[in-house]
């Protein structure tokens, strides 16, 4: 590109969020752990279109939690979901309670393409795990039903509820697939 064209483009984009979004996408890819690669570890989200993946990437921030720290606590507002990049997280001391409560409430607790006959809560959530109830993220005013705790140094994408709501309302098939699940592996 010529210098004049670049300057003109910068002038046109000044005052818009386009430059900020382009920079954000670049920064996310520079991490060497792009969301697209992380999504490949998730049985449901790996099938998203490139546009859907980009929508999540554009609205995600990278966060870190030290081992033993809480990503969220029970009864906190449901204001974001996480997609685990590295490390492990768990619903501590909640497996049996979580299973009985969620299976009774919604009939399902998670979507797992390899085994849809069993509803269970894994011991830990690792790379590619989506943790966050889609219905609660779309509807405002929800609270967490459980605590999410990092069991090792954990890096994750944090996607705020407003962004999740916008993405899911624009993609009703994905919204239906995520449903009331607390997590998707």
Q: What is the pLDDT of residues 154-177, one digit of tens each?
A: 999 999 999 999 888 888 888 888
Predicted confidence band of residue 71 (pLDDT cuts 50, 70, 90): very high
3-state DSSP assignment of residue 49:
coil
Query: What pLDDT shows up at residue 22?
Result: 65
The overall average pLDDT reported for the chain is 78
CA-closest candidate to residue 34, choices 63, 64, 54, 19: 54
- Secondary structure of 88-147 in HEC code, one letter for each residue: CEECCCCHHHHHHHHHHHHCCCEECCCCCCCCCCCCCECCCCEECCHHHHHCCCCECCCC
pLDDT at 111: 37
- CB-based contact 185:42 (threshold 8 Å): yes
Residues 6+ apart with CB under 8 A from 41: 127, 128
Q: Quick check: 72 pLDDT over 80? A: yes
Note the pLDDT tens digit of each residue in 17-44.
Answer: 666 666 656 665 565 457 888 989 998 8
Task: Classify strands 89-90 and 148-150 as parallel, antiparallel or unpaired.
Answer: antiparallel
Residue 179 binned pLDDT confidence (cut-offs 50, 70, 90)? confident
Under 8 Å between Cβ of 43 and 112 = yes
Q: How confident is the model at residue 129 (pLDDT cuts 50, 70, 90)?
A: very high
More confident residue, 149 or 124: 149
pLDDT at 47 over 60: yes
Contact 182, 131 (CB under 8 A): yes
pTM: 0.72
Q: For helices 18-30 and 50-58, what crossing angle results, to 10°?
A: 100
116: Cβ–Cβ under 8 A, 6 or more apart, which residues? none
pLDDT in tens, 74-100: 999 999 999 999 999 998 865 544 444
């Amino acid at each position: 590109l010529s210098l004049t064209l670049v300057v003109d483009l910068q002038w046109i984009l000044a005052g818009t969020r386009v430059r900020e979004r382009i920079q954000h996408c670049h920064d996310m890819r520079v991490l060497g752990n792009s969301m697209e690669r992380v999504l490949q570890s998730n049985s449901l989200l790996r099938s998203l279109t490139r546009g859907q993946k980009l929508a999540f990437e554009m609205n995600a921030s990278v966060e870190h939690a030290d081992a033993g720290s809480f990503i969220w606590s029970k009864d906190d507002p449901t204001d974001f979901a996480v997609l685990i990049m590295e490390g492990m997280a768990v619903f501590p001391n909640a497996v049996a309670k979580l299973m009985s409560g969620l299976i009774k409430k919604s009939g399902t607790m998670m979507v797992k393409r390899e085994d849809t006959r069993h509803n269970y809560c894994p011991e830990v959530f690792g790379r590619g795990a989506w943790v966050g109830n889609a219905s609660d993220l779309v509807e405002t005013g929800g609270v967490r039903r459980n605590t999410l705790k990092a069991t090792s140094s954990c890096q994750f994408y944090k996607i705020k509820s407003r962004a999740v709501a916008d993405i899911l309302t624009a993609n009703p098939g994905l919204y239906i697939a995520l449903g009331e699940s607390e997590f998707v592996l």
